[in-house]
């Protein structure tokens, strides 16, 4: 049976990306060696790194003055690396979910944190608006997409101080104006590749301004100077990222991907709003295009386990909502085909016809 992969991460990858990666695992470009066993400093892997960075810059239209890095440790490592490198006295943070809270916790080890706004009062079901960013902050940190709660920032914010964004789960989902950001980072395992690689887009002129000494491995300048090769990078995940970016370019780039993502999200949100059994959990103007969260209406609440089993029988995986919010979560990342969303909608309709009172 065909599987429809709605997992929140590690998540669905395009079929040809998986196929091409599997070929490289057996033999990279006919050299007789696996991509997993070649030297990261050899010309064969250097070509992979160079192409991946070039595609990053091309597809996101990254201006001059920015560096693209690939490190380990996930976005969680960046939660401490960012304040280590950027926070002198005070940083500003927008609290929109669990990952933003974790980033805030780490920043507090390095200086004052100004919480400019939070949506915790309504269980992070909306993106705060009309907040003021302090002009004396060293940087302003946002999490653009909140995987657990299904909310997303859909535009590039104008910030009076350097803007830092965790885009782990919506990178390459829409065109972005990189020039508005001082730094963009995230784990690869949502829209880019398998777990293990972390991408960082950093404007060089924001570095070197903190007064503290930074350990070598945690200093962005180290990795810029060494081309992400100070230590052995996550070679196989980087290779898969390259294949994903090749695929993205071939289908029409980020603008085309945004159109496809909007179509998928509209299809599912329309059904959630129409269906008498289900209800969306995020405010309408904050709804994510990447993680669509919904629950059973109160009178049908006891049917949630049954619907999950029903969807599983139809080949759907990864639909169970995060334990902190319950219900269901359909992650509709870039590589999820529209056919999978159609299959979910049909399952919801069939289930409604069976149980509607």
Please report, for the chain, the start and end positions of each structural domain, with discontinuous segments joined by +.
Answer: 15-250, 253-355
What is the percent of the chain with per-residue pLDDT over 70, rounded to a whole number?
100
pLDDT greater than 90 at residue 66:
yes
Fold of 15-250: 3.40.640
3-class SS shares of the chain: helix, strand, coil, % to 5: 40, 15, 40
Which of these is catalytic: 99, 138, 170, 320?
Answer: 99
Q: Average pLDDT of 175-189?
A: 98
Q: Return d(Cα 54, Cα 147) in angstroms, integer.
A: 28
Burial class of residue 321, CB neighbours in 10 A (0-12, 13-18, 19+): buried
Question: pLDDT band for position 325 (50/70/90)?
Answer: confident
In the predicted structure, residue 5 carries a pLDDT above the cut 80: yes
Contact 142, 95 (CB under 8 A): no
Tens-digit pLDDT profile for residues 71-107? 999 999 999 999 999 999 999 999 999 999 999 999 9
Specify the range with the lowest mean pLDDT, choosing from 178-182, 214-218, 221-225, 321-325.
321-325
Strands 112-118 and 90-95: parallel
Catalytic-residue membership of 99 = yes
Helix runs in 152-207, H state only: none
pLDDT value of position 323: 85
The answer to whether 190 is a known catalytic residue is yes
Please state, in angstroms and rounded to a whole number, the distance separating the CA atoms of residues 138 and 262. Answer: 35
Percent of the chain at pLDDT above 90? 97
pLDDT at 119: 98
Whether 317 contacts 290, CB under 8 Å: no
pLDDT at 356 over 90: no
What is the spatial distance between Cα 74 and Cα 202, in angstroms, rounded to a whole number?
16
Q: Which long-range contacts (CB under 8 A, 24 or more apart) does 209-217 make?
A: 209/86, 209/88, 210/84, 210/85, 210/86, 210/87, 210/88, 211/88, 212/84, 212/110, 214/84, 214/85
What per-residue confidence (pLDDT) applies to 226?
Answer: 97
Does residue 151 have a pLDDT over 80? yes
Helix axes 338-355, 253-274, angle to 10 degrees: 0
Strand order of the β-sheet with 278-280 is 278-280, 291-296, 328-331
Separation CA 271–CA 156 (nearest Å): 29
The whole-number average pLDDT for the span 13-40 is: 97
- Catalytic one among 90, 105, 156, 190? 190
Catalytic position from the list 138, 166, 170, 320:
166
Please give the average per-residue pLDDT across 98-125, as a whole number: 98
Question: Which residues lie across from 123 on neighbouring strands?
Answer: none
Burial environment of residue 136 by CB neighbours within 10 A (0 to 12, 13 to 18, 19 or more): exposed
**Count of alpha carbons within 13 angstroms of residue 73, beta-carbon side:** 17
Are both 15-250 and 253-355 of the same fold?
no
Q: What does pLDDT average to over the chain?
A: 97
| Residue 231, CA atoms < 13 Å, CB-side half-sphere | 9
CA distance 204 to 183: 9
Q: What is the pLDDT of residue 357?
A: 73
Tell me: domain 253-355, CATH 3.90.1150.10, correct?
A: yes
Give 134: exposed, middle or buried? Use CB within 10 Å, 0-12, 13-18, 19+. middle
Q: Is the pLDDT of residue 190 over 90?
A: yes
Q: Give me the sign of the Cα torsion angle 246, 248, 252, 255.
A: negative
Continuous H helices in 11-126: 15-26, 43-60, 74-86, 98-107
Q: Is the pLDDT of residue 1 over 80?
A: no
The predicted pLDDT at position 2 comes to 78
**Residue 254 pLDDT grade (very low, low, confident, very high; cuts 50, 70, 90):** very high
Average pLDDT of the residues in 266-283: 97
């Amino acid at each position: 049976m065909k599987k429809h992969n709605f997992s929140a991460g590690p998540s669905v990858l395009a079929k040809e990306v998986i196929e091409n990666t599997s070929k490289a695992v057996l033999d990279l470009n006919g050299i007789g060696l696996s991509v997993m066993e070649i030297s990261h400093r050899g010309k064969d892997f250097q070509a992979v790194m160079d192409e991946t960075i070039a595609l990053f810059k091309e597809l996101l239209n990254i201006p001059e003055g920015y560096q693209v890095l690939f490190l380990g440790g996930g976005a969680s490592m960046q939660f401490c690396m960012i304040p280590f490198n950027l926070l002198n006295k005070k940083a500003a943070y927008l609290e929109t979910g669990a990952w933003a809270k974790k980033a805030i916790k780490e920043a507090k080890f390095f200086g004052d944190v100004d919480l400019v706004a939070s949506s915790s009062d309504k269980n992070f079901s909306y993106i705060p608006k009309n907040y003021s960013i302090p002009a004396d902050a060293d940087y302003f940190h946002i999490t653009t997409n909140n995987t657990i709660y299904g909310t997303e920032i859909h535009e590039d914010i104008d910030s009076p101080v350097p803007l830092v964004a965790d885009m782990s789960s919506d990178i390459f989902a829409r065109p972005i104006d990189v020039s508005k950001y001082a730094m963009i980072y995230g784990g690869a395992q949502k829209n880019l590749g398998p777990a293990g690689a972390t991408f960082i887009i950093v404007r060089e002129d924001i570095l070197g301004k903190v007064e503290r000494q930074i350990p070598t491995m945690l200093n962005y300048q180290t990795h810029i100077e060494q081309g992400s090769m100070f230590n052995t990078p996550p070679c196989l995940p980087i290779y898969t990222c390259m294949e994903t970016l090749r695929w993205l370019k071939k289908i029409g780039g980020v603008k085309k991907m945004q159109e496809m993502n909007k179509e998928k999200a509209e299809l599912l949100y329309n059904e959630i709003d129409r269906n008498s059994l289900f209800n969306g959990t995020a405010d309408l103007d904050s709804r994510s295009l990447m993680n669509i969260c919904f629950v059973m209406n109160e009178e049908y609440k006891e049917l949630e386990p049954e619907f999950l089993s029903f969807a599983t029988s139809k080949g759907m995986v990864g639909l169970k909502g995060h334990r902190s919010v319950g219900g269901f979560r359909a992650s509709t990342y870039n590589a999820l085909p529209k056919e999978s969303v159609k299959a979910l909608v049909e399952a919801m309709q069939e289930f409604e016809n069976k149980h509607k009172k």
